[in-house]
Amino acid sequence: MAADVTKRKAGAASADRPDAPPPRWRERWRRRTTPWVFAGPAAALLAFFFAYPLLAGLYQSFTADRDGVTTWVGLAQYRRMAADPVFWAALRNTGLILLVQVPVMIGLALLLAFGLNQSWLRLRSGFRIAYFLPAVTMLVAYSVVFRVLLKTDGGLVNQLLDAVGLPAVDWLNGPGWARLALIGSITWRWTGYNAVILLAGLQAIGREQYEAAAIDGAGAVTTFVRVVMPQLRPVILFCSVTSTIGTLQLFDENYVLTGGGPGNATTTPVLYLYKVGFEQLDFGYAAAISWVVVAVIGLISYAQFRFFGKEASR
């Protein structure tokens, strides 16, 4: 009994010493709570400015504003969307731009990356900066510049066409030409950005692999197919996914260039969402459109990872 009392006193004395280690429960509690002390403010801001609006928008997509009163309407906004010809036209426009613009842009970026990766090229750093500069240009600013360049009367592009004896083109007022102008402007801005990313992927391939392929008698085409592409495929997949997401979220360029016209020829879902929400003040329908856009982006991104990611992992 006396021995137990002595042990308890010794333990209490050791606990009072400043150099005594803290109890285990206190150490575990400190390890669990310390990260949240630093991450807590950022997590709270993220929840307030991202998670809450996201959930509020989802709830709003099931409501409608009737006579100033928000009413629960269930899936009525989504049924309305299924019968909305403008929404389907916007989806078709985005699909057309996606099928044309993304492959062309990735192909041009790949060619640029190969050119910028050549050891004989002088002033390579200057060329890389020049090709990347469009990516840091403000969206509205470069869209305004393209609008001025493509004016039917007095635009620089039509002046150049006239100088070589070709007729002027009504770039922004014809459905086909307006889509082509939009595709051209997007390609101009993002080709250099993707080229820099692909260039980083090329530079990660060791020089000894090219030398080994040359020793085995592989030509340029065989080296590209057998050595370069298998290692560059994950980078191409990344560029394709990010470019697809950017195209599906297209708003600034077509809003400034054409306003979605002529005749909804360049209207995209995000531009239509803006018009419904901020011009017609139909926020329930706009919220439903936004969630459909999110679902489309998720499905297409999943399909790209599903079908091309397997090849990239081999």
139 and 40 belong to one structural domain: no
pLDDT of residue 309: 63
Residues in the chain: 314
Ordered per-residue pLDDT tens for the chain, 314 residues: 444 545 454 454 444 455 555 667 777 887 888 878 888 888 888 888 888 888 999 999 999 987 778 899 999 999 999 999 999 999 999 999 999 999 999 999 999 988 888 777 787 778 888 888 888 888 888 999 999 999 988 889 999 999 999 898 999 888 899 999 999 999 999 999 999 999 988 888 888 887 787 887 777 778 877 888 888 888 999 999 999 999 999 998 999 998 888 889 999 999 999 999 998 889 999 999 999 999 999 999 888 888 776 555 55
33 and 123 belong to one structural domain: no
112 and 172 belong to one structural domain: yes
- Whichever domain contains 156, its CATH number is 1.10.3720.10
For residue 63, the surrounding DSSP H or E stretch is strand 63-66
Q: How many Cβ atoms are within 10 Å of 47's Cβ, its own excluded?
A: 12
Answer yes or no: is 170 within a domain. Answer: yes
User: By the 8 A CB rule, do 279 and 101 touch?
Assistant: no
49 and 152 belong to one structural domain: no
43 and 84 belong to one structural domain: no
295 and 236 belong to one structural domain: yes
For residue 284, the surrounding DSSP H or E stretch is helix 283-313
pLDDT of residue 226: 80
150 and 214 belong to one structural domain: yes
Answer yes or no: is 214 within a domain. Answer: yes
Structural tokens at position 277:
């929400």
Domain count along the chain: 2
Q: How many Cβ atoms are within 10 Å of 229's Cβ, its own excluded?
A: 13
85 and 28 belong to one structural domain: no
Domain span at residue 87? 78-313
pLDDT of residue 68: 76
DSSP of 138-166: -HHHHHHHHHHHT-TTT-HHHHHHHHTTP
In the DSSP assignment, the letter for residue 81 is H
pLDDT of residue 227: 80
User: Cα-atom radius of gyration of the chain, to the nearest Å?
Assistant: 29
99 and 238 belong to one structural domain: yes
171 and 41 belong to one structural domain: no
pLDDT of residue 206: 80
Answer yes or no: is 67 within a domain. Answer: no
Instruction: Cite the beta strand spans of 173-304 per DSSP E.
Output: none
103 and 55 belong to one structural domain: no
201 and 99 belong to one structural domain: yes
pLDDT of residue 190: 92
For residue 107, the surrounding DSSP H or E stretch is helix 85-116
Cα 154 to chain centroid distance, Å, stands at 35
Answer yes or no: is 7 within a domain. Answer: no
